[in-house]
Amino acid sequence: MISPALLIGPCLVAVGLFGFLTRRNLILMFLSLELMLAGVSLNFVVFGQMHDDFGGQVFSILILVVAACEAALALSLIVALVRLRGTLDSKAWSALREFQFDDQAGTGGRSAEDRIPELAGRAAEDHSHFEGYEDLPKLTPAGLDPQSRPVDSDFKLPDLAGRA
Amino acid sequence: MELWLTYAFCAIAVVLAMAFALIKHPVHAALSFACVVLAAAGVYLLQNAAFVAASTVVVYAGATIIIFMFVLMFAQQTNLLDYDTHKQNPIAAGVVAIALAATVIAVVLKEFPKLEEQLAAKSPVAEVAAADSAEIVKPTEGDVNAELDVKAEPMSLKASDAATDAETEESSADVMSAKADRFTVAKLGAALYTRYLLAIEIAGTLLLVATIGAVVIAQREPKADAQERTKS
C-alpha cells in the first residue's frame, strides 16, 4: 500500500516550481523554493521509514539546516536589493539580460540586419527605466549569426548611443 | 485511523500549496505556506519522525515565516502592487510543473511495488508477522474442514476470514508500535552523534558560514558608520 505522503512530495515540488516561475515578488519566490525543499524532505522521511532507517530523518534535518541558511542569506540579499531599488519586484534586476529579438513578428520581409535600429529602439525602451545604467556592456543581439555577419568590435546599439 | 489522518494532512498540504501558488496577496500566501508546513509536520508525526516535525514547526512555520513576513511588511507598505497581481508565463510554468509532477509520480508508482517486495523480503519483523499469521490461519482452516457442515461452511469461512483480518490488523498494529519504539527521539539523537556525525558537523559549519555571510551582506556601508562613530 503506497503512502499518500509519497505522492504529496512531488506535488509540493511541482507547486513550488510553478510558484517560483510565475511569482515576481522576491520574497514569495524564495518561499516557493522553501516549499520545494519541504516536499523533498517529506519524501526522505517516508522512504527512510520504509527502509527502517534513520537516514531519511537525518537527511530531512540536513535539508532543514540548508533551508534555514538559505533563508538567512536570501533575506539579507533581499534587504540589500530593496535598499538599492526600493521594490521587491524581480524585474527591477534584469538590466544585464539580453533583449527580445523575435524574428517572426511583423518583420515585413526585411532582413534582421535592416531591423537593427528598430530592435535597438525596443531594447532602449526595455532598459529605459534603469537610469544610470546606459553604459552597461550590451550583448550581441541574438539572432544575428556572428559567423556569417561578424559584429564590429565597436558596435553599439544606435539609440542607446544617442541617449548617452 | 492513522491512514485517514495521513490522507487528511496530505489533502490539506496540497490544497494550501495550490492556494499559496495562486493567492495574490503576499501576506495571505505566506500564511498559507505556514499552514502547508504545519500539515507536513503532521505527516512527519504520523511517520514516527517527532523530532523532524517539531524542528520543522519551529524553523519553518516559526522563524522563517515570521522573518519573511517582517521583511515583506518592511519593504512593501502598500497592499497590492502590479508585480503581485500579474504572474509571468503562468501557462508555460504550469505545463512544466505538471509534467515534472506527473513524471515523478509515474516513476514512484511504477517502482514502488518492487521496492515493497525487496523490503518485505529483507525485513525480519515482516517475516515473523507473516509466520505468526500463517500459524494462526492454519488451525482455523482445519476447524472449518473438520466441521463439514454444508450450511455452516460459508458462515465459518467468513468468520475465519474475519479472524485472520483481525489478526493481521493486530500484527500490523504490533509492527507499528514496534516501529514507534525503534524511532524514538533518543535513538535519533544517538544515531545523529554516532553514524551521522559527519553530517551534523557539516550542518553546523554551514550554519556558521551562513550566519557570517548574512551579517556581511546585510551590513549597511560599514566604513561610513565607522566614520560617523569617530566623528561623534
CATH of the domain at A60: 1.10.287.3510
Mean pLDDT estimate for chain B: 79
Question: Whole domain around residue A44: which residue ranges?
Answer: 4-90
Instruction: Choose the weakest-confidence range: A140-144, B73-77, B174-178, B213-217.
Output: A140-144
Nearest to B22 by CA among A22, A88, A87, A36: A22
Which residue in this structure is represented by grid cell 517527532? B50
- Across the interface, do A25 and B83 touch by the CB < 8 Å criterion? yes
Among residues A71, A90, A109, the one where a domain terminates is A90
pLDDT of B227: 62
Does residue A73 sit in the same domain as residue A109? no
Please report, rounded to a whole number, the percentage of residues in chain B having pLDDT higher than 70.
70
A130 min Cα distance to partner chain B (Å): 17
When pLDDT is cut at 50, 70 and 90, the band that residue A63 belongs to is very high
ipTM (interface predicted TM): 0.73
The domain over range B1-86 is classified in CATH as 1.20.120.1200: yes
pTM of the model: 0.71
Give the count of beta carbons closer than 10 Å to the beta carbon of residue B42: 18
A80: closest chain B residue by CA = B218
CB pairs under 8 A between A and B: 234
**Number of helices followed by number of strands (H, E) in chain A:** 5, 0
Q: Which helix (H) or strand (E) holds B185?
A: helix B185-192
Does residue A73 sit in the same domain as residue A106? no
- Across the interface, do B109 and A2 touch by the CB < 8 Å criterion? yes
Nearest to A45 by CA among B35, B8, B38, B47: B47
Optimal mutation site among B44, B65, B85, interface A, most CBs of chain A within 10 A:
B44
Does residue A35 sit in the same domain as residue A84? yes
- In three-state form (DSSP H/G/I as H, E/B as E, the rest C), the secondary structure along A18-46 is HHHHHCCEHHHHHHHHHHHHHHHHHHHHH
When pLDDT is cut at 50, 70 and 90, the band that residue B84 belongs to is confident
When pLDDT is cut at 50, 70 and 90, the band that residue B153 belongs to is very low
